[in-house]
Amino acid sequence: MIIGRQFQRYRKRFFSRLQARSRYLLYKAIYKNPGDPRKELLISIDEIKLSIDDRRLSRQNPEYKRIYRTVNTVIDGEFWEHVKPLSHESLKLTGFRERFVNGMEWEETSLFTDYNMQLMRKVKVQGCYSLDELVDLYKRQHDTLYHRLVVEGVKSARGNVNITPIYVYINKDGEFVFTSGGNHRLNMAKVIGLKAIPVRVRGRHVEWQRIRDELYNVGSAEFFNRYPHFERHPDLVD
């Protein structure tokens, strides 16, 4: 069973990379400076101020489903209208603080109070049919993950098929937009006090891609003279 799951991960990662590489070659013919799908950015957690529920959107719109299932795309249109401010104190963040800082049992946390209410309306939550199943899941997986992050930080997914990359979008102003995945690691990193996390880019606004092309066209000296506030932007630094 374990070998089968690992094979599926390798297979999924292989086809994702193949698809991203093909798109990169296509973009090379369209743009001067397309993003490298293999590149990871180390970004400040404090700079993640926006989010989009791309998983939910993918269920509602075939075009959004294509965006959600691909990486390193250039995106225009109504997709960006769904971006919202990232909550400074989400239920998940509050629940993690209650668990890992205050030492509460999972079932006593605000997060599990919400899960209990969800289970009254739904058949299952996060694949679990009862609160006891959820408690067992969080003890087995998330307690372990938290203590690993305390020691190792958020690790790069480069070369490790067992680590799912954390993805972001970049809007027209160069701001990072968090996606539906990686919420546990991001919120745990906040509780621990980590300063930065490695991410990959799922998509860039077409206007931001034009900014990248301008950097290529005029050179770094002239570009950063025009846009000094972008000088340390992770997506503009090799």
pLDDT value at residue 68: 87
Q: Assess whether pLDDT exceeds 90 at residue 113.
A: yes
* Average pLDDT of the residues in 82-106: 95
Which residue from 223, 235, 220, 232 is spatially nearest to 171, judged by alpha carbons? 235
pLDDT value at residue 37: 87
Instruction: Look up the domain containing 232 and give its range.
Output: 34-236
pLDDT value at residue 161: 76
The pair of structure tokens assigned to 83 is 């971006």
Please state the length of the chain. Answer: 238
Tell me if 186 sits within 8 A of 48, measured CB to CB: yes
AA letter at 72: N
Partners of residue 44 on adjacent β-strands: 196
Residue 18 inside a domain? The answer is: no
Residue 100 inside a domain? The answer is: yes
Residue 57 inside a domain? The answer is: yes
Mean of all residue pLDDT scores within the chain: 91
Residue 65 inside a domain? The answer is: yes
Handedness of CA 24, 55, 9, 158 (dihedral sign): positive
Roughly how many angstroms between the first and final C-alpha of the chain, as a whole number? 40
Residue 228 inside a domain? The answer is: yes
Q: Assess whether pLDDT exceeds 80 at residue 1.
A: no
Tell me if 201 sits within 8 A of 34, measured CB to CB: no
| DSSP state at residue 36 | P
pLDDT single digits (tens) 116-153:
999 999 999 989 999 999 999 999 999 999 999 999 99
Residue 121 inside a domain? The answer is: yes
Angle at 205 between CA 223 and CA 153, to 5 degrees: 85
Residue 129 inside a domain? The answer is: yes
pLDDT value at residue 12: 61
Residue 106 inside a domain? The answer is: yes
The total of structural domains in the chain comes to 1
